[in-house]
Amino acid sequence: MTSRRSTAQAMVGAAALLALTAAACGGSGTSATATGGSSGSTSDPSPSGGATAAGKVTTRDVADVGTVLVNGKAMTLYTNEAENSGKIRCVGSCTDFWPPVTADKAHVPASVPGMSGAFSVVDRPDGTTQLALDGHPLYTFSEDRTPGSVSGNGFSDDFQGTKFVWHAATPDGSTPKATAGDGAGNTGGGNSGYNYGY
Domain assignment present for 154: yes
Q: How is residue 48 annotated by DSSP?
A: S
Domain assignment present for 26: no
For the chain, the helix, strand and coil percentages under 3-state DSSP, each to the nearest 5: 20, 20, 55
Task: For residue 169, give the nearest of 117, 121, 103 by alpha carbon.
Answer: 117
Exposure string of 101-115, with b = 16+ CB inside 10 Å and e = fewer, is bbbeeeebbeeeeeb
Backbone angles phi and psi of 187, in degrees to 5: -130, 155
Domain assignment present for 144: yes
Domain total in the chain: 1
129 vs 196: which has the higher pLDDT: 129
- The pLDDT tens digits of the residues spanning 2-21 come to 444 444 444 434 433 333 33
166 alpha carbon, distance to own chain's centre? 16
Domain assignment present for 194: no
Domain assignment present for 100: yes
Domain assignment present for 149: yes
Q: Give the residue numbers spanning the domain of 121.
A: 47-168
Q: What does the alpha-carbon distance between residue 182 and residue 196 come to, in Å, rounded to a whole number?
A: 17
- The pLDDT tens digits of the residues spanning 97-141 come to 999 999 988 888 888 989 988 999 999 999 999 999 999 999 999
Is residue 51 scored above 50 in pLDDT? yes
Question: What percent of the chain stands above pLDDT 90?
Answer: 50
Which residues lie across from 40 on neighbouring strands?
none
Is residue 191 scored above 60 in pLDDT? no
Q: What does the alpha-carbon distance between residue 59 and residue 71 come to, in Å, rounded to a whole number?
A: 8
